[in-house]
């Protein structure tokens, strides 16, 4: 691997990770070019679907807390620079049985790190968040450092900031190959019928649900899965200031993430096994009626003020690893290529800090961001 001084980097895929990396590298004075197959801020990748949760009391484990704290500051700084809120600090709830492993982890992480998490008794929870019907053994936790991210806005605004800092951008550019001769890389990309090649010192491949196509060797480590999101129409009291984002773990199928109405209705993501996507170019938009019925039943039990059926149902996709942690590291076959992928349904919030890690790896081959648990070798 050749360390970057003032040399050049190609970022393949300008979505969640790519936009952050483009911005980070350009701000650091690196000559960086982004390649995006669609337009910036499109809905077809892993970032589609209007909103994302930001949490610090992390059910995925306390090792993430330093990364999440840094990411929160980064989102606030990016919001200030962009002049629009990318992160809305509405808080993030965890509601569920004290025996549930995720609820227990959130409580443990809170205690271990002394996090700003409020534990509400049922009377107080009912007064402040009457939308939730609580079950007798539900614990209610409010992570006051949590909030709501606007993914499309974040990708568009961060890319604009990157361009202002000097990044080059090719949109509508499908990268077909990145070859590495040991001294540098050649990016082969197609626009319509025309195939072009540009050369760089290094490349980062962060193509989200297309990662196993871009880096076939990752097909044994990352599985692309389909997620179904449902939007329920609301009247009032369901905006971020009254109904924070959160995760419900109240047993059985009452396990889902919930998102306030920011225009399209309250969004629900039921946490059940997801189907495999064979080809990310042809994501199946058809959702079986019995799946919609399961989501509706969970909503009726837990959020009885919502309508009995969703107004909109849409499908999205994401790469998952076996242990649900992403991958950041060198391509085993191409020394000048870094790969970032498989963020397993929780990568958006961490993108600014993952981008800092990647930028440091490009520059020096090392990073002080604690990402050992994201190494490719751990999966093999």
Residues at the site binding ligand FAD, with contacts judged by CB under 6 A: 12-18, 35-38, 45-47, 49, 52-53, 174-175, 206-210, 214, 227, 229, 269, 316-318, 341, 343, 345-349
Q: How far is the CB of 336 from ligand FAD (least distance, A)?
A: 18
Residue number with CB closer to ligand FAD (33 or 97): 33
Q: How far is the CB of 3 from ligand FAD (least distance, A)?
A: 24
Q: How far is the CB of 201 from ligand FAD (least distance, A)?
A: 19
Residue number with CB closer to ligand FAD (58 or 129): 58
Q: How far is the CB of 131 from ligand FAD (least distance, A)?
A: 19
User: For residue 369, what are its two tokens?
Assistant: 């961001």
Q: How far is the CB of 32 from ligand FAD (least distance, A)?
A: 15
User: For residue 333, what are its two tokens?
Assistant: 């076959």
Could you tell me the CA-to-CA distances from 135 to 74, 138, 255 in Å, in that order?
Answer: 37, 5, 13
> Which residues have C-beta within 8 Å of that of residue 160, sequence separation ≥ 6?
82
How much helix, strand and coil, in percent to the nearest 5, is found in the chain?
A: 30, 30, 40
Is residue 27 a contact partner of residue 167, using CB atoms and an 8 Å limit? no
User: For residue 276, what are its two tokens?
Assistant: 């495999």
Residue number with CB closer to ligand FAD (115 or 203): 203
Q: Give 283's DSSP letter.
A: -
What is the secondary structure of 125-174 as a DSSP string? HHHH-TTPPPPTTEEEEEETT-EEE-HHHHHHHHHHHHHHTT-EEEES-E
Q: Give 273's DSSP letter.
A: P
Residue nearest to ligand FAD (CB): 15
User: For residue 309, what are its two tokens?
Assistant: 């059926």
Residue number with CB closer to ligand FAD (329 or 345): 345
Neighbours of 100 (CB within 10 A): 20
Q: How far is the CB of 54 from ligand FAD (least distance, A)?
A: 7
Provide φ and ψ at 300, rounded to 5°. -60, -35
Residue number with CB closer to ligand FAD (229 or 306): 229
The position carrying tokens 């997801």 is: 274
CA dist 331 and 53 (Å) reads 30
Provide φ and ψ at 156, rounded to 5°. -65, -50
**Displacement of CA 8 from its chain's centroid (Å):** 26
**Number of Cα atoms under 13 Å in the Cβ half of residue 370:** 9
Residue number with CB closer to ligand FAD (138 or 318): 318
Residue number with CB closer to ligand FAD (135 or 367): 367
User: For residue 317, what are its two tokens?
Assistant: 């996709």
Residue number with CB closer to ligand FAD (126 or 292): 292
Q: How far is the CB of 118 from ligand FAD (least distance, A)?
A: 21
Provide φ and ψ at 22, rounded to 5°. -55, -45
Residue number with CB closer to ligand FAD (122 or 144): 144
Q: How far is the CB of 55 from ligand FAD (least distance, A)?
A: 8
Q: How far is the CB of 48 from ligand FAD (least distance, A)?
A: 7
């Amino acid at each position: 691997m050749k360390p970057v001084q003032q040399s050049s980097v190609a970022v393949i895929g300008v979505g969640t990770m790519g936009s952050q990396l483009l911005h980070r590298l350009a701000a650091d004075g690196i000559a960086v070019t982004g390649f995006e197959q669609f337009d910036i801020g499109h809905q077809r990748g892993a970032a589609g679907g209007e909103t994302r949760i930001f949490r610090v009391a992390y059910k995925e484990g306390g090792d993430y807390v330093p990364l999440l704290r840094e990411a929160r500051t980064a989102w606030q700084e990016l919001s200030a620079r962009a002049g629009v809120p990318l992160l809305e600090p509405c808080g993030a709830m965890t509601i569920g049985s004290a025996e549930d492993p995720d609820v227990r982890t959130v409580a443990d992480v809170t205690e271990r790190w002394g996090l700003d998490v409020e534990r509400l008794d049922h009377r107080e929870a009912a007064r402040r968040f009457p939308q939730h019907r609580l079950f007798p053994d539900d614990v209610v936790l409010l992570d006051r450092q949590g909030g709501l991210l606007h993914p499309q806005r974040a990708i568009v605004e961060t890319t604009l900031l990157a361009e202002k800092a000097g990044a080059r951008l090719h949109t509508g550019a499908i990268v077909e190959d990145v070859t590495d001769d040991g001294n540098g890389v050649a990016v082969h990309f197609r626009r319509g019928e025309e195939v072009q090649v540009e050369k760089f010192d290094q490349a980062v491949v962060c193509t989200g649900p297309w990662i196993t196509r871009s880096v076939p060797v990752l097909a044994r480590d990352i599985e692309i899965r389909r997620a179904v999101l449902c939007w329920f129409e609301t009247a009032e009291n369901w905006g971020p200031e009254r109904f924070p984002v959160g995760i419900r773990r109240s047993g059985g199928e009452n396990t889902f993430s919930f998102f306030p109405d920011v225009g399209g209705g309250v969004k629900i993501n039921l946490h059940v096994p997801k189907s495999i996507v064979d080809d990310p170019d042809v994501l199946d938009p058809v959702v079986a009626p019995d799946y919609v019925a399961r989501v509706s039943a969970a909503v009726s039990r837990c959020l009885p003020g919502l309508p009995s059926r969703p107004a909109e149902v849409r499908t999205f996709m994401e790469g998952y690893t076996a242990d649900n942690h992403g991958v950041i590291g060198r391509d085993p076959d191409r020394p000048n290529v870094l790969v970032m992928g498989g963020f397993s349904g929780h990568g958006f919030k961490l993108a600014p800090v993952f981008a800092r890690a990647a930028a440091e790896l490009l520059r020096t081959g090392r990073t002080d961001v604690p990402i050992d648990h994201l190494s490719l070798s751990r999966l093999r």
